[in-house]
């Protein structure tokens, strides 16, 4: 059995307009966030796969508010998750710096892995930054979907659905990734 210093107090699976999502929390903050899946059982399995996640009927007020905020985000609203308490017990200093820099990105704001590494004080470590984001336990709250590969390419995404999910999340925030749409020929430009 894996040991963890992070004592998870509870978890919740809930429905949004884009699918079922789930969160787990400790007394210190959010410990896990599962992005949309088609059914409740798939999210429950993903959450319970992690050591220490327990059932609890008691939800702190911030958890109730976070669920409402996630549902609003899924419905297309501009939501700021920067104030959500996050419990990153056991995460190394490099990842903490990367996650902190990523949390400063606003709704609809993107950057590259290389630029995020620079902002976090680790210039030149774009690949390691990508790996750190791939291990992000709380996507959306730590908005790893807002980090792109060099040249504006979508880059990888470790959540279910991969880069397609990342592209959909960015589109919900008004960000278009990929080649520009064809020029409008009626104006003769």
Cβ(136)–Cβ(86) under 8 Å? no
At residue 12, φ and ψ (nearest 5 deg) are -145, 140
Cβ(143)–Cβ(102) under 8 Å? yes
3 state SS of 65: helix
Q: Respond yes or no: is residue 144 known to be catalytic.
A: yes
3 state SS of 44: helix
SS3 content of the chain, % helix, strand, coil (to 5): 35, 15, 45
Catalytic residue among 12, 120, 141, 144: 144
Q: Please state whether beta strands 8-16 and 30-37 pair in parallel, antiparallel, or not at all (unpaired).
A: unpaired
3 state SS of 36: strand
Nearest alpha carbon to residue 175 among 106, 123, 117, 124: 106
Q: Which residues are catalytic?
A: 144
């Amino acid at each position: 059995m894996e040991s963890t210093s992070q004592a998870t107090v509870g978890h919740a699976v809930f429905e949004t307009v884009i699918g079922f999502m789930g969160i787990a929390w400790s007394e210190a903050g959010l410990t896990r966030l599962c992005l949309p899946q088609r059914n409740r059982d798939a999210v429950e399995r993903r959450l319970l796969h992690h050591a220490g996640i327990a059932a609890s009927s008691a939800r702190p007020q911030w958890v109730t508010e976070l669920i409402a905020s996630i549902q609003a985000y899924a419905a297309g609203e501009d939501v700021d998750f920067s104030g959500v308490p996050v419990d990153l017990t056991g995460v190394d200093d490099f990842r903490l710096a990367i996650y902190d820099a990523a949390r400063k990105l606003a709704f609809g704001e993107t950057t590259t892995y290389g630029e995020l590494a620079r902002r976090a004080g680790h210039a030149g470590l774009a690949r390691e930054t990508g790996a750190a984001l791939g291990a992000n336990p709380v996507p959306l709250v730590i908005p790893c979907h807002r980090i792109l590969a060099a040249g504006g390419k979508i880059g990888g995404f470790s959540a279910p659905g991969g880069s397609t999910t990342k592209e959909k999340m960015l589109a919900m925030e008004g960000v278009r990734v990929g080649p520009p749409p064809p020029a409008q020929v009626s104006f003769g430009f």
